[in-house]
Amino acid sequence: MKTYRTLLRALLLGAVASALPVAGISAQEAATRAPAPTLQPPASPTKAPDADGFIQRWLILDPIRRPGSLADSAVQAAVKTEYFPDQFTVLPRDGAKVTVRDSALVWHAVDTRRYNVNLYHFAYALSKPTSNVLFWAVTVVNAPRDIPNVRLAICSNAASVWWLNGEEVIGIYNDRQATIDDGVSKRLTLKQGPNIIRAAVINGGGATDFCARFIDERGNPVKDFTVSLNAGKR
């Protein structure tokens, strides 16, 4: 029957589209993708870390295509490439656009409902590629006073490089699943006021996500700060 065939075609197209999020997505399809189940737009000016200290508010840029090795030198070369102006210092607004290789990419402000940011959900909901990609993420940690002797502790699937206030503090490489406190920095000081965390997460294939928190000398989470997406200077 015609209605049956139409229904069947729609179902098949839907199944194919689900399996191949990268290629040939129609505008209609893109417009109807459900929002990422674990992410939501921020609803408050600041956010506390969760009960285990994980930072749940981030600005994330649409993924940049980046096929290639996940080994140390290849990842370092990838993250040190300048894809757009001021990429190591920018603190963008939600919705801000940059142009990378003739593509318009958008910064998105998100809160995650979990301890981690599921980049697969993020990219899929936006009908963006999830494999062989590089994600830039930025956030601001506001400390009530100087907090010395803390370490940034992150997880990522897969490789990632992290900066605190412009200084590179973590790099973890090769294909890996996300395990909390997988990458840990040397001892750092969170300075009173805003501290900018910036990350570049590179995925090969499959799932991709990241998480971040600060831990103290004993490995316990530091929670005495708030998270925002501006440095309070505007």
Partner 1 sequence: MIRSFSGLLCALAAAPALHRFGAATVLLLASPVIALEGDPGIHDPSTIMVHQGKFYTYGTGAGLPILVSDDGWTWRRAGSLMEAVKGDRADVLKRGGNNTWAPDVIRSGDKYFVYYSAPATQPRSAIGLLVGTTLDPASPDYGWVDGGPVVWSDGVADNYAIDPGILRDPTSGSLWMTYGSYFGYIRLVQLDPASGKRLYPDREPVNIAINGEASIMIYRDGWYYLLLTRGSCCAGAASSYNIRMGRSRAVTGPFVDNMGIDMLQGGGKLFVGSGGRYIGAGHFGLLDLGDGVQKFSLHFEADLDRGGRSVLDIRPLLWQDGWPVAGENFAAGTYEIQSARTGTSLEMAVEGVPVGGPRARGPGGVGGPGGARAAGEPTPIPAQDAAQVGGKWLTGPVNARLSQYLVQAQQKWDVAAVANVGGYPGSPYFKITVAGTDRALAATAAAELVILPAFTGAPEQLWRIDQLADGTYRVMPKAVPGSDQSLALSAIGSSMPTLARFDPDGNRQHWLFRTP
- Least distance to partner 1 from the beta carbon of 171, Å? 8
Q: Which is nearer to partner 1, 83 or 173 (CB)?
A: 173
User: Whole-angstrom Cα distance, residue 162 to residue 99?
Assistant: 22
Regarding 70 and contact with partner 1 (CB under 8 A), the answer is: no
Among 223, 211, 202, smallest CA distance to 73 is for 202
Q: CA–CA separation, 45 vs 129, rounded Å?
A: 30
- Cβ nearer to partner 1, comparing 66 with 213: 213
The single residue among 215, 222, 227, 229 that binds partner 1, judged by CB under 8 A, is: 215
Indicate the residue among 83 and 214 with the shorter CB distance to partner 1: 214
Shortest distance in whole angstroms from residue 73 CB to partner 1? 5
For residues 69, 74, 79, 80, the Cα torsion angle rounded to the nearest 10 degrees is -160
CB of 182 to partner 1, least distance (A): 5
CA–CA separation, 153 vs 199, rounded Å?
Answer: 12
200 close to 171: Cβ distance less than 8 angstroms: no
Q: How many CA atoms lie within 13 A of 164 on its CB side?
A: 23
Range 162-201, binding partner 1 (CB under 8 A): 172-173, 179, 181-187
DSSP 72-83: HHHHHHHHHS--
Which one, 189 or 226, has the nearer CB to partner 1?
189
With CA atoms as reference, report the closest residue to 126 among 63, 183, 44: 63
User: By C-beta, is 108 or 151 nearer to partner 1?
Assistant: 151
Is 73 a binder of partner 1 (CB under 8 A)? yes
Residues between 95 and 154 that touch partner 1 (CB under 8 A) = 151, 153
Least distance in angstroms from the C-beta of 217 to partner 1: 7
Smallest separation (angstroms) from partner 1 to the CB of 172:
6
Q: In angstroms, rounded to a whole number, what is the distance separating the alpha carbons of residues 135 and 78? A: 11
* Size of interface with partner 1, in residues (CB under 8 A): 18
| Contacting residues toward partner 1, per CB under 8 A | 71-73, 151, 153, 172-173, 179, 181-187, 215, 217, 219
